Amino acid sequence: MSSIQYRWLAVVGLVAGVVGWAANFFLSENGYPAPVLGPVALVAIILVAGATLFLGLRVRSWRNGRRDRELDPLAAARTVVLAQALAYAGALLLGWHAAIFLTQLPLWSLRPGHAGTWSSLAVSVGGILMIATGLTVERFCKLPPDDKDGTGPGSGPGTGNGTGDGSGEGGEYA
């Protein structure tokens, strides 16, 4: 499994920003409100990021040597996939809502306290939280780079076959 590519996060965010800007432009020209998610979405963002962080902390504690319970390798792999999906979804939300926030900002003097502006800012911050949580949890799930043969503190059943080269920021995933 490969790591998250920062370039792809940026591309997803930029494409979402362009599409968000175009959608907001079209809708506002035709008298519709800004296409932003509401406060319930922000609560969902916080809950999903918290659950992902909780699962990542379980994998990290096992990787760091606390092995009072067996770690299911499939659960560790699912945690990595969830973390990566969270980061990409965060980039998507950040791009979309940041573009809408920037297009709504010049209208602030005409309609201060506009709910769409505040919602887009809040969900943009939520997108940043999702990206940060996804990247952090992904790092929690990597074996240390010096654990080439799988006998170090991150070794155990289902943690890889010991053939990783250990290059880059970390070795194989737990």
> In the chain, count of helices (H) and strands (E)?
4, 0
pLDDT of residue 163: 40
Q: What is the pLDDT of residues 7-21, one digit of tens each?
A: 999 999 999 999 999
Distance separating alpha carbons of residues 49 and 54, to the nearest angstrom: 9
Residue with tokens 């887009």: 120
Residue with tokens 């809502």: 97
Distance separating alpha carbons of residues 57 and 53, to the nearest angstrom: 6
Residue 3 has pLDDT above 70, yes or no: yes
pLDDT of residue 157: 45
Residue with tokens 């609560």: 43
Give the DSSP per-residue string, 62-94.
Answer: HHTT--SSPPPHHHHHHHHHHHHHHHHHHHHHH
Distance separating alpha carbons of residues 113 and 115, to the nearest angstrom: 6
Residue 160 has pLDDT above 50, yes or no: no
The percentage of residues in the chain with a pLDDT greater than 90, rounded to a whole number, is 51
Q: What is the mean pLDDT of residues 131-150?
A: 79
How far, in whole angstroms, is CA 126 from its chain's centroid? 10
pLDDT of residue 152: 55
∠ CA(151), CA(156), CA(158), 5° rounding?
125
pTM, two decimals, is: 0.80
Which is more confident, 27 or 71? 27
Which band of pLDDT confidence, cut at 50, 70 and 90, is reported for residue 168? very low
pLDDT of residue 29: 87
The percentage of residues in the chain with a pLDDT greater than 70, rounded to a whole number, is 82
Which is more confident, 152 or 126? 126
